[in-house]
Homo-oligomer: A and B are copies of this chain.
Amino acid sequence: MSFKLFCTRAIASHIGVGSRIGFDATSSLWLKAGYATKTINLTSTTYPNTHRNPDFAKVSNSDVLFFRSIVGDNQVLTDDLDAYNEDWMRKYKGQSKVVLKPKTTEQISQLLRYCNQHKLAVVPQGGNTGLVGGSVPVFDEIVISIANMNKVRSFDEASGMFKADAGVILENADGYLAEHDHIFPLDLGAKGSCFIGGNVATNAGGLRLLRYGSLHGSVLGLEAVLPDGTIYDSMHSLRKDNTGYDLKQLFIGSEGTIGIITGVSILCPARPKSVNVAFLGLESYEQVQETFKKARNELCEVLSAFEFMDRGSQVFASRFLKMAHPLSPDDENEVPEYPFYVLIEVAGSKKEHDDEKLESFLESVMEDGTVADGVVSQDESQLRTLWKWRESVSEASTIDGGVYKYDVSLPLPKMYSLVETVRKQLGERQLMSQEDTGMPVVDAIGYGHVGDGNLHLNVCVREYNKKVETALEPFVYEQVQKERGSISAEHGLGFQKKHYIQYSKSPVEIQMIKDLKKHYDPNGIMNPYKYI
């Protein structure tokens, strides 16, 4: 049996050779949602039960004078601070009066020491692309932006060791590495805006995790400033170091609550010379799992992504992309009837070998009936087109008005049942209909990184609706808890999920996390009202 080649004939006019669709800091995505308007309500108004901590001082003129003496007049901003107060989703808005833009780790140390002594609350800010309101103030916290710390420090081609300031934009880091035939071991939609320091602070997962593992493995050293101004410097070039607790690990995923990351040392793999993508149609979620199992076994070292999408997500993508679906190139605007779709990417050092492995794998899963249909990209442009059918789902989900997004981890066998359970719940409460525009919910769709057990559940709505919210929360979190999943696979806790951590963590774990927060930040000045 030979495998279909992907033909872009029908869609050639729609798709150019652009970069992947991703988050864009200037995107109007969330403006469509009923609860996000051009004018964002203050977080304090939207969440009246969250109160400013009266222990914190308010910024005085003498504070501002001190800040200017440290970072210079131009790097203390007091006007037009919306870009720093508002989050990327346009859901949260703080009231900070001062933004500081230090240029060195030493300056951050002096700023934090002062803030800690004077009980001035602080929000560390990177590229401000977070999705849980973690990088903007809730009230009048001082914003410390690391945007001015954006230099590559060093790269060693022999070992792949890359060292840079925390404010280097992810795409720039990857571009720098590409020139040296290396790859940043992390990739995500927001790469054009997000900072590598923010990636580490939020333990970003993204699209390369299946292949290159998590930042807990690839980050080899960090430089960070603790709340009291102490500079923690472990900017090693060492893959192995067994002398004491691995302190840097605490900062990976700490979301700015125990310090500000100022430097990152990370191990970067050689850049694959060849990349190819297959796009498959499957009859059941069991077959998705079976295909993944076989792909891990047969594609082994060249497997670099294994993404799945349900049919609903492809219907939204189709409406958004306005192009023929890869598996029905002749029927524009028609999505085939397969309930599940899988995108497999292979990447390696020798194209012929990768192609041969991929083709032999595909023939085997089609012959034994695990996969019903599929196509393989023939060039870079087709590869990007296939990826669009996965990557556009996020943005496409808002096409009817808005979306409730849940980013959860679940054990693989249970992953998709969450979507089915939520659909059932919304159906029983008579909140969901694709046809009846009087219903608030259009559809609940699921897609995500099978390799990471990471499901994106999008509840696509026509309007923001309290009944929908009540039907979803804490229902979704309860379902995740039942399966010992995580209520935040990638995005973190931030402001949005602070009060939901008990669905993922036991009382013992929560207490341990609180104890550590207190240990490092006894005055609680770092990114307050969030995380824990």
* Contact flags A465-506 to B (C-beta < 8 A → 1, else 0): 000000000000000000011111111110001000100111
Whether A484 and B237, one on each chain, are in contact in the complex, defined by CB atoms closer than 8 angstroms, is yes
Q: With a CB–CB cut-off of 8 A, which chain B residues contact A347? A: 301
Q: With a CB–CB cut-off of 8 A, which chain B residues contact A153? A: none
Q: Does A369 contact B (CB under 8 A)?
A: no
Known pairs A159-B453, A230-B508, A249-B250; A486 contacts B302 (CB<8 A): no
Q: Does A289 contact B (CB under 8 A)?
A: yes
Q: A239 CA to B487 CA in the complex, in Å?
A: 13
Chain B residue with the shortest CB-CB distance to A211: B301
Q: Does A70 contact B (CB under 8 A)?
A: no
Chain B residue with the shortest CB-CB distance to A493: B243
Q: With a CB–CB cut-off of 8 A, which chain B residues contact A296? A: 160, 269-270
Q: Does A330 contact B (CB under 8 A)?
A: no
Q: A484 CA to B235 CA in the complex, in Å?
A: 9
Q: Looking at the complex, which one of B258, B272, B489, B508 makes contact with A233 (CB distance below 8 Å)?
A: B508
Q: Does A322 contact B (CB under 8 A)?
A: no
| Binding-face segment, A395-403, A406-414, A422-430 | A406-414
Whether B301 and A237, one on each chain, are in contact in the complex, defined by CB atoms closer than 8 angstroms, is no
Q: Looking at the complex, which one of B159, B161, B247, B454 makes contact with A240 (CB distance below 8 Å)?
A: B454
Q: Does A96 contact B (CB under 8 A)?
A: no
Whether A159 and B246, one on each chain, are in contact in the complex, defined by CB atoms closer than 8 angstroms, is no
Whether B486 and A232, one on each chain, are in contact in the complex, defined by CB atoms closer than 8 angstroms, is no
Q: A232 CA to B300 CA in the complex, in Å?
A: 34
Q: A39 CA to B231 CA in the complex, in Å?
A: 48
Whether B244 and A246, one on each chain, are in contact in the complex, defined by CB atoms closer than 8 angstroms, is no
Nearest-Cβ distance from residue A362 to partner chain B, whole angstroms: 15
Max chain B CB contacts within 10 Å: which of A161, A349, A489, A490?
A349
Q: Looking at the complex, which one of B234, B237, B270, B485 makes contact with A238 (CB distance below 8 Å)?
A: B485
* Contact flags A56-73 to B (C-beta < 8 A → 1, else 0): 000000000000000000
Q: A269 CA to B492 CA in the complex, in Å?
A: 26
Q: Does A512 contact B (CB under 8 A)?
A: yes
Give the interface size class of chain A: 35 or more
Q: Does A292 contact B (CB under 8 A)?
A: yes
Q: Looking at the complex, which one of B230, B452, B493, B515 makes contact with A519 (CB distance below 8 Å)?
A: B515
Q: With a CB–CB cut-off of 8 A, which chain B residues contact A485? A: 238
Q: Looking at the complex, which one of B203, B240, B453, B491 makes contact with A214 (CB distance below 8 Å)?
A: B240
Q: Looking at the complex, which one of B156, B203, B357, B509 makes contact with A242 (CB distance below 8 Å)?
A: B203
Nearest-Cβ distance from residue A101 to partner chain B, whole angstroms: 25
Nearest-Cβ distance from residue A235 to partner chain B, whole angstroms: 8
Known pairs A203-B246, A243-B493; A238 contacts B505 (CB<8 A): no
Q: Does A181 contact B (CB under 8 A)?
A: yes
Known pairs A216-B217, A300-B348, A513-B245; A452 contacts B239 (CB<8 A): yes
* Contact flags A438-453 to B (C-beta < 8 A → 1, else 0): 0000000000010111
Known pairs A353-B353, A508-B232; A453 contacts B237 (CB<8 A): yes
Q: A159 CA to B484 CA in the complex, in Å?
A: 16
Q: Looking at the complex, which one of B216, B302, B489, B490 makes contact with A216 (CB distance below 8 Å)?
A: B216
Q: Does A365 contact B (CB under 8 A)?
A: no
Known pairs A247-B513, A349-B300, A350-B357; A156 contacts B241 (CB<8 A): no
Whether B301 and A491, one on each chain, are in contact in the complex, defined by CB atoms closer than 8 angstroms, is no
Whether B239 and A246, one on each chain, are in contact in the complex, defined by CB atoms closer than 8 angstroms, is no
Q: Does A209 contact B (CB under 8 A)?
A: yes
Q: With a CB–CB cut-off of 8 A, which chain B residues contact A487? A: 243
Q: A205 CA to B296 CA in the complex, in Å?
A: 24
Whether A531 and B238, one on each chain, are in contact in the complex, defined by CB atoms closer than 8 angstroms, is no
Whether B484 and A247, one on each chain, are in contact in the complex, defined by CB atoms closer than 8 angstroms, is no
Max chain B CB contacts within 10 Å: which of A217, A243, A250, A485?
A243
Max chain B CB contacts within 10 Å: which of A230, A273, A301, A348?
A301
Whether B349 and A240, one on each chain, are in contact in the complex, defined by CB atoms closer than 8 angstroms, is no
Q: With a CB–CB cut-off of 8 A, which chain B residues contact A298? A: 349
Whether A242 and B493, one on each chain, are in contact in the complex, defined by CB atoms closer than 8 angstroms, is yes
Q: Does A213 contact B (CB under 8 A)?
A: yes
Q: Does A435 contact B (CB under 8 A)?
A: no
Q: With a CB–CB cut-off of 8 A, which chain B residues contact A205? A: 240, 242
Whether A245 and B240, one on each chain, are in contact in the complex, defined by CB atoms closer than 8 angstroms, is no
Q: A203 CA to B238 CA in the complex, in Å?
A: 14
Nearest-Cβ distance from residue A126 to partner chain B, whole angstroms: 15
Q: With a CB–CB cut-off of 8 A, which chain B residues contact A289? A: 158
A/B interface sample: 18 pairs, CB < 8 A: A209-B239, A216-B246, A234-B509, A237-B484, A238-B411, A240-B489, A242-B253, A243-B488, A243-B493, A243-B497, A244-B509, A246-B253, A249-B249, A269-B300, A270-B296, A270-B297, A353-B353, A519-B519
Instruction: Pick the 7 closest A-B CB pairs, nearest first.
Output: A217-B217, A249-B249, A300-B349, A241-B486, A240-B489, A243-B504, A244-B513
